[in-house]
Structure 1
Amino acid sequence: MAILSNFTALLQAIPGRATLEAVLDAIRSMFSGDRDTRRKVAFSVALIALSAKMAKADGVVSAAEVSAFRQILEIPPEEMRNVFRLYDIAKQDIAGFEIYAGRLRSLCEDENGNCQLLGDVLDGLFHIAKADGVVHERELAFLEEVATIFGLDEAGFARLRERHVAGPDNPYAVLGLDTDATAAEARSQYLTLVKENHPDRLAARGVPDEFMFIASERMKAINDAYSKIAKRHAA
């Protein structure tokens, strides 16, 4: 858990009363000479902080959601205190999630303009939101607003939403296809998504190894959706 081990130094570097703004400033300054580590730490903090903001918006944190959070962040015992301190900082910070999400996008754009990593953060948030069996209305509204701030287009958010909310029942939506798509179109889209979600691609955009659980769950949904579509065409 090399990335999570940076949290002790990160929290020690925050002067005075800890806020999300201070956390982001510390990430930028502490890792100014190491872009790869900066992206990975920012990803970790984003998932923790926005999970806390989502819990505050929804008003409820279920045991299932905590379990889902820990599926994504395999937290070693020695880092548990730091992770949940960051969670509490985010939950108690009076600044709205909109400000934090906007700052996170700016941090991403300052690096190389490639913000696909933000989509991975949203994927993790959806995984947590649905852990209790349903994505509640307030959670969905929160996620949609975060997606807009992150710059995800409507089609991209719809595909993400359908994969998590209605995936088993709507395989075409999971792949971003119309229901009248041909077998060839389905296979072409499937291969494109497999290529986009290859572990090497994810690592290149800064997704830490610790969080490849997200990628694994995404590929399971993509493979399952394509298998169902292929069977329909073969029938």
Structure 2
Amino acid sequence: MGWMGKLVGGTIGFAIGGPLGAIFGAAFGHAFDSGAELDEKSGRQRLSTNEQHQLTFFVAAFSMLAKLVQTDGKVSPEEIDSIEGFMERDLRLTPQSRNVAVNIFRTALNAPGTFDDFAHQFHNRFHNQPQMQEVMIDILLRVAVSDGSMTTSEENLILSAVKIFNFSQVRYEQLKSQYVQTADKAYAVLGCHPDDSDDQVKRCYRQRVQEYHPDKIAAKGLPDEFTRFAQDKFREIQDAWDQIKAARGIK
């Protein structure tokens, strides 16, 4: 059934805790069990470890996005359109998942928790899974530039997440350049440089393919609702490799 089905079906036997747990509880009326043993008669279903990861990622993503679009003190119609577009185009959420995402997003807009609070809790959950951290930063970048440009205040928040995650500044710049039209975009997708040797480019390509295979990162806790995003990233890696192979004459 997954965490989404258990949530919509009634109650679940797991509370995230911390600032993200406060968002989740406020959004869904504390319709979960935070403590003791669950029995068959209670009707509550305890989440598996992977479902807990998925729930945390989902709540963190839309909570952090809420604070991102709110960083200038107001939320414009264009920013709301960018979030809705992300849900529709990039994630292709089902109506059920979309309602949950919107509920979390709206709750986080008015919540006292800060972007950094959410980022710290996300890092605590995924500190040993760099692919998950990279997916989150990629999501933040994609939404930030979706209205045509990224403001200084938006990038400062994203850089705060980069620091909290202990994420590579070099890799951040590569991710950022994927959303800017440059001749080196294909190399940025693979995480390498135009002056790297063919062998080094091949190694980067193989590493990215291994890291971003949708099945592999799903097993690490990426929610099913974000599978489309992972699939798009995987295709971007393949397209970048094809472009570089053609330019370099690599067989």
Q: Normalising by structure 2, report the TM-score.
A: 0.75
- Tell me if 1:126 matches 2:159: no
Partner of 2:152: 137
- Give me the whole-angstrom Cα distance separating, in 2, the residues matched to 1:28 and 1:135: 40
Shift of 1:156: 2.4
- Tell me if 1:108 matches 2:126: yes
Report the CA distance shift for 1:46/1:211 in structure 2 as closer, same or farther (over 3 A).
same
- Give me the whole-angstrom Cα distance separating, in 2, the residues matched to 1:108 and 1:159: 21
- Give me the whole-angstrom Cα distance separating, in 1, the residues matched to 2:221 and 2:199: 32
Q: Percent identity, please.
A: 22
Partner of 1:36: 50
- Give me the whole-angstrom Cα distance separating, in 1, the residues matched to 2:48 and 2:206: 33
Report the CA distance shift for 1:136/1:219 in structure 2 as closer, same or farther (over 3 A).
farther
Q: Within 5 A, what are the aligned runs for 1:56-135? A: 56-58=70-72, 59=74, 60=76, 61-109=79-127, 113-135=128-150
Deviates more, 1:156-165 or 1:168-177: 168-177
Report the CA distance shift for 1:91/1:222 in structure 2 as closer, same or farther (over 3 A).
same
Give the CA RMSD over aligned residues: 3.2
Q: Does structure 1 conserve the Cα–Cα contact (< 8 Å) formed by 2:11 and 2:33?
A: no
Q: Could you report, residue by residue, the CA deviation over 1:44-101 in whole angstroms, capped at 9, with x for unpaired residues?
A: 1111111111111154314244211333444433454433221111111122211121
Task: State the aligned residue count.
Answer: 228
Partner of 1:174: 189
Which structure has the larger Rg? 2
SS in 2 for 1:179: coil
- Give me the whole-angstrom Cα distance separating, in 2, the residues matched to 1:171 and 1:63: 28
Unaligned runs of 5+ in 1: none
Shift of 1:224: 2.6
- Give me the whole-angstrom Cα distance separating, in 2, the residues matched to 1:64 and 1:33: 31
Q: Does structure 2 conserve the Cα–Cα contact (< 8 Å) formed by 1:118 and 1:150?
A: yes
- Tell me if 1:212 matches 2:221: no
